[in-house]
Amino acid sequence: QFKNISPDVVPLSTGTSPRRMPPHEHILQQEMAQSRADPSDKPKKPKLDVPFCIKRSKPIWLPIKAHRFAAYRAKVLQLLPQRCLQQYIDFEKQGQYAACIALLESATPGSLNVLRPATLVNNKPLLIETVLQLIVGYSGLCLKNNQGPVAVKLITQVIDNMSLSLRDLHPGHRTVLEAYLYDTALSICYYVPQDIGLTDRSEAFFQQASERYLRLNHPNRYCKCCLRAAAVLHGQGHLSEAEYYTQQALNKLSDAPVSSLLAVCYHNLAVHTIVQKRLADSVAHVRSYVALLRQLPKLTNSWMQQMDDSQWLILKAQEMWPQYQQQEGMRESQAQTKFGH
């Protein structure tokens, strides 16, 4: 029932999304909005130079979808005795999701509190899966409502108790859920980079999830996981590692047909190489993804906007590169003179 996903990771255009803006207008609009968000700063037009183009270049993020969240939630609510139901809904409204899961100790089939696996009911693997899928949905809601620390706490507890809470699942099914939960934890690292305790584990989450996707023979899930890990590493400033993982995804797709997943790989490689100041590689990757986009059906405008913006920034950097290199060379020679080298 759990198959490899389609490589069409970017939604197609429906004709209803906001129109695409010329990249320079969109980038300026975003910059001005950002500077307006800081009340101490008077909005001013940014200086267009190579450092600005590099700073503005960002990899595309491929979010995890919480599958059938409403159905899992409805199922869990049915398993609660009437006396606990209102309390559960009240906790939910307050965003106290760990308290909701704790209430599942009173579930009619037996305890379904996966955060305390010692008391967990035996031989109910599908119900255990339902609760874990519900927690993935809740962690997504936390991120949406700016409750990053709550999402971190939830997913950390799930990961740390997983070996016991999944004990009754069929091995194949267990591998699937473990991969999904590790991948979710990796995603939360992206959204909550300030939580050092979690982000220090991001590499381990990636290794655990990607190894399982390979074992399940799900190459497209593996590639998406590589791109997520690379985006997390990019945010942490580990630029060559980010490029390496993106290249792993590209290698996996070497014999695959044209897809938006392939276009995202090339786009993100263009970003990972421009931030390492490897202009020629970056421009080559831009040409690759632009050529791919011409062969694909029309993708939704919000995604295309990011692809347009990156192309504009990298080609603009290319125009200004000779002058930038000259300035950098002068700075270096001044620094060497200053320090007596």
Residue 127, pLDDT above cutoff 50: yes
184-206 pLDDT, tens digit each: 999 999 999 999 999 899 999 99
Residue 15, pLDDT above cutoff 70: no
pLDDT of residue 284: 97
CB contact at 8 A, 172 and 179: no
Can you say whether residue 50 is alpha, beta or left, with left for phi > 0 and alpha for psi between -120 and 50 degrees?
alpha
269-288 pLDDT, tens digit each: 999 999 999 999 999 999 99
For the record, the structure tokens of 336 come out as 């060497």
Residue with tokens 């995603």: 187
pLDDT of residue 321: 94
**What percent of the chain clears pLDDT 70, i.e. is strictly above it?**
88
pLDDT of residue 54: 95
**What percent of the chain clears pLDDT 90, i.e. is strictly above it?**
48
Q: What is the mean pLDDT of residues 150-160?
A: 91
Supply the Cα-derived Rg of the chain in whole angstroms: 23
* DSSP category for residue 65: P
Helices (H), 146-278: 148-165, 171-191, 196-199, 202-215, 219-235, 239-252, 260-274
pLDDT of residue 42: 64
Q: What is the mean pLDDT of residues 77-104?
A: 90
- Output 278 or 340, whichever has higher pLDDT: 278
Residue 325, pLDDT above cutoff 90: no
pLDDT of residue 216: 92
221-243 pLDDT, tens digit each: 999 999 999 999 999 999 999 99
Ranges 27-31, 262-266, 282-286: which has the least confidence:
27-31
Each residue of 13-41: b (16+ CB within 10 Å) or e? beeeeeebeebeebbeeebeeeeeeeeee
- Mean per-residue pLDDT over the chain, rounded: 87
* DSSP category for residue 8: -
pLDDT of residue 303: 87
Residue 41, pLDDT above cutoff 90: no
What's the predicted TM-score (pTM) here? 0.86
pLDDT of residue 1: 43
Q: What is the mean pLDDT of residues 90-113?
A: 89
Residue 311, pLDDT above cutoff 50: yes
Q: What is the mean pLDDT of residues 146-157?
A: 91
Residue 151, pLDDT above cutoff 80: yes
